[in-house]
C-alpha cells in the first residue's frame, strides 16, 4: 500500500520563492492622478525592502535563512492522499491535499507573515498594524511578530470578532493586540460607524483602519502589513505549490486539476502559481480558484481598476472587484469576504488561464462534513469552498470513468470555527448568493474608474 | 544543523503495543464482596474482546490492520526538538517533544478511541457511551465511532461543557451526541443534581452516568468506553512511547528525563511505559508524571482500593485516590480533574519507579505562554503541566551545567481552550491547591476500603 502522507525531507524544503511576475504581463497600480505609482509612494505604508520585492520581476527570490528557520516549525507541510474520501465517493480520481493547517496559527497565513515580520524588522520597524477577516491572518501576524520581537496591532472585522471570540485570545497569546473593526480609533472606522453603527464590518474598512493607524504614527517606526492581494504576499505563499510539486514527483504524479479557495487570492496563488507557470509553458491542466457565491469577485464582477480598501488609502489596483464599498453578507468564511482579488490572480482569470468557480455556503459545509467524517480533519470554512469543488470534480471523474489527479489546498483547519459547524448542523445557516441586482448595485462605485488593458501572458 | 523534526518513516510505525502487565506485578480489582472479580463480571460494561485485552499479560499485542489504517491519518506523529525554547532558557538540556496534538481531535486520545471502537464493532456493538472531562476524549471517541459507523453518546463534565462550547460542536461534527453531566438522563446524574444543583460536575459522576446508560440498554448492543485508567487504555497509548524510542534512536539519543501530564494516567503511560520497561531492567533515568496541585492524586493521596466513579458502579481498583466522592475545583485542565489514577501508574509510583510532581495552575499557563511564544504551538492546559516541569528541569540542567536529554509529551493543543488563556492573560485565573484539611476530608470516604499489597516489580 502506498503511504498516506508524502513527507518531503527537511533538506528538500524550497530555498527560493517563485515570482510569477517573471512570467506574466501586468497592468501597473495607479495613483490618485491616474498615473502609475512609483515605489517611493508606498514608503509610508510598507518598508522599502518589501516594496522592492513587490515590484521585482526576478523569477526566483531567495528565502532568508532566519525566515527558513521559523518556517521549519511546521514546514515542509504534508501532502496527503485523501484515500478515505475517495473511497466514500467511489471515485477513480486520486485526490491529494496539501495540508497548511499544521502551522501554529492553523493556516497558510504564516508563510507570508513570517517573511513580512522579518523584512520589517530588518528595516528597523518596531510595530506592525494589520486587518483580519476570519482571524487567520491576524493570528499568523501576531505569531510572526512575536518571533521577531515586533509589536502587532490587529483590526478584526466585527462579524468575525463576534463569531470567533477565541481568535482574539490566540492573538494575545502570541502578544498581539486585537480590536473589532470598525473601531473608534481611526477616522476610517469612525466614518464607517457613522454610516451604519450596526455594520458587520468588512475587510475593506479594516484595511483602511490599519493603514491609517500605520501612516499616522509620526515616529516612522510603524508600518502596515497585508495578508493577501499584493505580489509579495503571493510570492511568499508559493512555497506551498513548490513543495507540492516536489511531493507529487516523489510518487510520480502530476495534477489534472488544481483547486484552492480564493478570498484575496494568496492561498490559491501559493498552491497554484507554480502550476500556472507550467500551464503558461504549455502544460494541460485545469486550475480552479473557488469563491463564495455571497462574494463572487472573480465570477460575477468586472476586471477594473479599484481601491483595495473602503477609504481609498490604497492605489488603484487592476483587479476583479465588486466595488471598494461593498460589504459582503456575514457568511462564516470571513477570509473570503473581500470585495477585490489579487491583481495577479485577476489578470490570469482575465487571460483564461484560471477558471473561477463559486459555491454557496451550505454546499461547503456539506462537503466539509463529509471530509471531517472521512479524512478526519475539520476544514476551515474557507477551505470548505475548495473541498466542495473537489467533491464535485471527483464525482465528475466517476461519471466520466477518468483516473484524474486532483490536488486541493487544505488551507486551514476549522477548530476555531466550530460555532459555524454547530449552526450548519442545527439548520441555522442560510445561503445568501448575490443577486444580479446586488452585483449591479455594488459595482456602481466603479463608475469612471480606469479599465486595465487586456494582456496576454501565453 | 540537525533537523528540527524527527520523522519516523511510515513503514516504521509500530505494529504491536507494549503491555506493561508482562513486566510488573499488580493487585487485582475487587468486586463488591471483596474478592477479585472475574472477566465475566465486566461483560455488561465492555465487549469481551477488550476485557480479554484488559487482563492479558502478553508483552506484545498486535495492532489490528484496520486500526493501523486509521491511525495512519496522523501517525507516526513527529518528535520535535524544542530548540527555540532551549535558546530562550539558555539551557544545555536537549528538549524533545512528542507531538500528539496532530491528530484530528488534537490530542493523544484517539490512540485508544480507535481500537476501542474497532473491538466494539467486531463484537457487534452498535452504540458506545462515555464521559469526557476537557472534551478531548469525547471528541476522540466521536471521531473513532464515526470511522466504524457506531453511535456515540458523551456525558461531558458540566464545568468543561460551559467553558468549552466548541467541544460539543466538534463531537457533533463527527456524529457524536453530547450532554452536560450531571444530566437528568440517569439516576447517577439525578442523584448528583439533587445533592448540589450547581455542581461543576466531576469525571467520577460522568463515568457513573455513562456506565449506567450502557448497562441499562436492554438490547445488549450498547457498551461503555473509558478514556483512561484501565490497562487496555494504557496499552493502546504505548504507541506514543514506542515511536518516541525509535525516533530518539534515529538521532542517537536516550532520555535522562521523561515527563508527561497525568489525569487518569493514559497520556503519561503511553509515553512513559516503554521507558519504564527499560528502567525496570536497570536503565537509569527519571520519569515524572505531573498533576495539578488542585487535584493531587499521586502526590497527596493514599494507595488504596477505591471505585473509579462516584456512584460506585466500577469494581474497586488499587490506586492512588482522593476518594471517589471528590469534586475537584473547576480548574481549566479538565482532563486532569480525576480523583483516582490508573492502577498501573499508581503501582509504579508506590514502587518508587515513577516520581510524581504537582504544579499550580498559574505556573502552567506561564510555561505554556513561554512555549507558545518560542515553539509556536499553543499547549492544552493539561499539556501545560508537563511543560511547566520541563521548564523547571531545563533550568535545573542549566544551574548544574548538565547536557540532559529531556523528553516531554505534548499531549494536545489548546486551540479549544483559548478562553482559559484569555483569563490567564487578564489575571482572572487563580490557584487553588488542595489544603491539608481538604486532603484529609476528601479521603474520609476511603475509610474501611481494603488496602492493596505493596508489590515490587524490579
Residue B243's alpha-carbon distances to B13, B79, B228, B309, in angstroms, are 7, 9, 20, 32
Predicted confidence at residue B79, as pLDDT, reads 98
Confidence check: pLDDT of A1 > 60: no
| A222 located within any domain | no
Q: Which three cell numbers stand for residue B172?
A: 457533533
Q: Considering only CB atoms, which residues of chain B are within 8 Å of chain A? A: 3-5, 7, 10-11, 72-74, 84, 102-104, 106, 143, 146-147, 165-166, 168-170, 172-175, 369, 372-373, 375-378, 415-416, 418-419, 421-422, 425
Confidence check: pLDDT of B366 > 90: yes
CATH number at residue B302: 3.40.50.1100
Confidence check: pLDDT of A2 > 80: no
Query: Does the predicted TM-score (pTM) go above 0.90?
Result: yes
Q: What is the mean pLDDT of residues B379-384?
A: 97
Predicted confidence at residue A404, as pLDDT, reads 97
**Cβ atoms within 10 Å, residue B35:** 9
Q: What is the pLDDT of residues A202-245, one digit of tens each?
A: 888 999 999 999 999 999 999 999 999 999 999 999 999 999 99
| B182 located within any domain | no
Q: What is the pLDDT of residues A189-212, one digit of tens each?
A: 999 999 999 999 988 899 999 999
Q: What is the mean pLDDT of residues B211-234?
A: 96
Mean pLDDT, chain A, integer? 96
pLDDT confidence of B458, banded at 50, 70, 90? low
Contact state of B169 with A419 under an 8 Å Cβ cutoff: yes
| B407 located within any domain | yes
CA distance A361 to B96: 42
Q: What is the pLDDT of residues A395-445, one digit of tens each?
A: 999 999 999 999 999 999 999 999 999 999 999 998 999 999 999 998 899
- Alpha-carbon dihedral angle through residues B168, B169, B175, B181, given to the nearest 10 degrees: 10
pLDDT confidence of B297, banded at 50, 70, 90? very high
Closest in A104, A418, A421 to B377, CB measured: A104
Confidence check: pLDDT of A302 > 90: yes
What residue has cell string 465511532?
Answer: B145
Number of domains chain A contains: 1
| A113 located within any domain | no
Min Cα distance B379 → chain A (Å) is: 10
Sheet holding B222-224, edge to edge: B177-181, B151-157, B127-132, B222-224
| B429 located within any domain | yes
Confidence check: pLDDT of A102 > 70: yes
CA distance B78 to A104: 14
Task: Provide the angle, in degrees to the nearest 10, between the axes of the packed helices A203-215 and A187-195.
Answer: 150
CA distance B98 to B272: 11
Confidence check: pLDDT of A458 > 80: no
Q: Which three cell numbers stand for residue B307?
A: 471505585
Closest in B4, B73, B422 to A72, CB measured: B4
A167 upstream amide cis, omega within 30 of 0 = no
Q: How many CA atoms lie within 13 A of B150 on its CB side?
A: 33
Q: Which of A68, A418, A421 to mutate to test the interface with B (most CBs of B within 10 A)?
A: A418
Please give the share of chain B, as a percent, with pLDDT higher than 70: 99
Contact state of A372 with B174 under an 8 Å Cβ cutoff: yes
Closest in B3, B102, B170 to A102, CB measured: B102
Min Cα distance A399 → chain B (Å) is: 26
Q: Which of B78, B415, B426, B427 to mutate to test the interface with A (most CBs of A within 10 A)?
A: B415
Q: What is the mean pLDDT of residues A170-194?
A: 97
Please give the share of chain B, as a percent, with pLDDT higher than 90: 91
Closest in A7, A173, A373 to B421, CB measured: A173
CA distance A293 to A297: 9
> Which sign does the torsion angle of CA B418, B422, B424, B425 carry?
positive
Q: Which three cell numbers stand for residue B7?
A: 520523522
| A381 located within any domain | yes
Task: Provide the angle, in degrees to the nearest 10, between the axes of the packed helices B381-400 and B361-374.
Answer: 80
| A438 located within any domain | yes
Q: What is the mean pLDDT of residues B134-144?
A: 96
Confidence check: pLDDT of B32 > 90: no
Residue A87's alpha-carbon distances to A204, B26, B137, B261, in angstroms, are 42, 45, 27, 38
Measure the CA angle with vertex B217, ends B215 and B221; round to 5°.
95
| A285 located within any domain | yes
Q: How far is CA A365 from the centre of its chain?
A: 19
Q: Which of A69, A145, A378, A426 to mutate to test the interface with B (most CBs of B within 10 A)?
A: A378
Q: What is the pLDDT of residues B50-63, one digit of tens each?
A: 999 999 999 999 99
> Which sign does the torsion angle of CA B48, B54, B58, B64 carry?
positive
Among the listed residues A2, A97, A108, the one whose alpha carbon sits nearest the alpha carbon of residue A405: A97
Closest in A106, A166, A174 to B373, CB measured: A174
CA distance A88 to A175: 43
Closest in B165, B166, B172 to A425, CB measured: B172
Q: What is the mean pLDDT of residues A292-320?
A: 95
**Cβ atoms within 10 Å, residue B89:** 19
Identify the three-state secondary structure at position A76: coil
Confidence check: pLDDT of A324 > 80: yes
* Chain B CA closest to residue A372: B174
Q: What is the pLDDT of residues B313-331, one digit of tens each?
A: 999 999 999 999 998 888 8
* Chain B CA closest to residue A110: B376
Predicted confidence at residue B262, as pLDDT, reads 97
Contacts of B421 in chain A (CB under 8 A): 169-170, 172-173
Contacts of B4 in chain A (CB under 8 A): 10, 72-73
Confidence check: pLDDT of B1 > 80: no
Contact state of A422 with B74 under an 8 Å Cβ cutoff: no
Range of the domain at B240: 64-104+232-445
Confidence check: pLDDT of A77 > 80: yes
Confidence check: pLDDT of A58 > 70: yes
DSSP sequence for B29-90: PB-TTSSBP-GGGGTTTS-HHHHHHHH---SEEEPPHHHHHHHTTT-SPPEEE-HHHHHHHT
Tell me the ipTM for this assembly.
0.95
Contacts of B165 in chain A (CB under 8 A): 419
Amino acid at each position: 500500500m502506498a503511504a498516506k502522507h508524502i513527507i518531503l525531507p527537511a533538506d528538500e524544503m524550497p530555498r527560493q520563492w517563485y515570482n510569477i511576475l517573471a512570467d506574466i504581463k501586468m497592468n501597473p497600480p495607479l495613483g490618485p492622478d491616474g498615473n502609475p505609482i512609483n515605489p517611493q509612494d508606498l514608503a509610508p505604508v510598507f518598508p522599502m525592502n518589501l516594496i522592492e520585492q513587490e515590484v521585482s520581476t526576478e523569477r526566483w527570490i531567495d528565502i532568508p535563512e532566519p525566515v527558513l528557520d521559523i518556517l521549519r516549525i511546521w514546514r515542509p507541510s504534508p501532502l496527503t492522499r485523501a484515500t478515505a474520501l475517495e473511497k466514500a465517493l467511489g471515485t477513480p480520481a486520486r485526490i491529494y491535499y496539501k495540508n497548511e493547517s499544521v502551522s501554529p496559527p492553523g493556516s497558510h497565513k504564516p508563510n507570508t507573515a513570517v517573511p513580512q515580520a522579518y523584512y520589517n524588522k530588518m528595516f528597523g520597524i518596531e510595530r506592525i498594524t494589520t486587518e483580519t477577516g476570519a482571524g487567520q491572518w491576524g493570528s499568523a501576524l501576531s505569531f510572526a511578530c512575536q518571533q521577531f520581537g515586533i509589536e502587532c496591532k490587529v483590526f478584526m472585522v466585527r462579524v468575525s470578532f463576534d463569531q470567533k471570540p477565541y481568535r482574539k485570545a490566540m492573538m494575545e497569546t502570541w502578544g498581539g493586540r486585537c480590536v473589532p473593526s470598525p473601531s473608534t480609533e481611526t477616522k476610517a472606522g469612525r466614518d464607517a460607524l457613522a454610516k451604519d453603527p450596526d455594520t458587520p464590518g468588512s475587510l475593506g474598512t479594516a484595511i483602511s483602519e490599519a493603514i491609517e493607524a500605520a501612516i499616522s504614527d509620526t515616529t516612522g517606526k510603524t508600518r502596515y502589513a497585508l495578508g493577501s492581494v499584493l505580489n509579495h504576499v503571493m510570492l511568499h505563499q508559493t512555497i506551498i505549490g513548490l513543495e507540492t510539486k516536489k511531493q507529487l514527483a516523489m510518487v510520480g504524479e502530476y495534477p489534472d486539476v488544481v483547486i484552492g479557495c480564493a478570498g484575496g487570492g494568496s492561498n490559491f496563488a501559493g498552491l497554484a502559481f507554480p502550476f500556472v507557470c507550467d500551464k503558461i509553458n504549455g502544460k494541460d491542466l485545469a486550475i480552479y480558484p473557488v469563491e463564495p457565491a455571497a462574494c463572487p469577485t472573480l465570477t460575477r464582477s468586472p476586471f477594473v481598476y479599484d481601491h483595495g480598501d473602503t477609504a481609498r488609502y490604497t492605489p488603484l489596483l487592476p483587479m476583479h472587484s465588486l466595488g471598494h464599498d461593498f460589504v459582503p453578507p456575514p457568511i462564516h468564511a470571513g477570509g473570503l469576504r473581500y470585495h477585490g482579488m489579487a491583481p495577479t490572480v485577476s489578470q490570469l482569470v482575465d487571460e483564461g488561464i484560471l477558471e473561477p468557480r463559486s459555491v454557496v455556503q451550505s454546499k461547503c459545509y456539506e462537503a466539509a462534513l463529509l471530509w471531517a467524517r472521512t479524512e478526519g480533519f475539520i476544514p476551515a470554512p474557507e477551505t470548505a469552498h475548495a473541498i466542495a469543488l473537489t467533491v464535485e470534480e471527483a464525482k465528475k471523474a466517476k461519471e466520466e470513468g477518468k483516473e484524474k489527479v486532483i490536488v486541493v489546498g487544505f488551507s486551514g483547519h476549522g477548530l476555531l470555527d466550530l460555532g459555524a459547524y454547530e449552526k450548519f448542523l442545527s439548520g441555522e445557516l442560510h445561503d445568501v448568493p448575490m443577486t444580479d441586482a446586488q452585483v449591479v448595485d455594488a459595482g456602481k462605485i466603479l463608475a469612471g474608474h480606469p479599465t486595465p488593458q487586456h494582456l496576454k501572458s501565453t
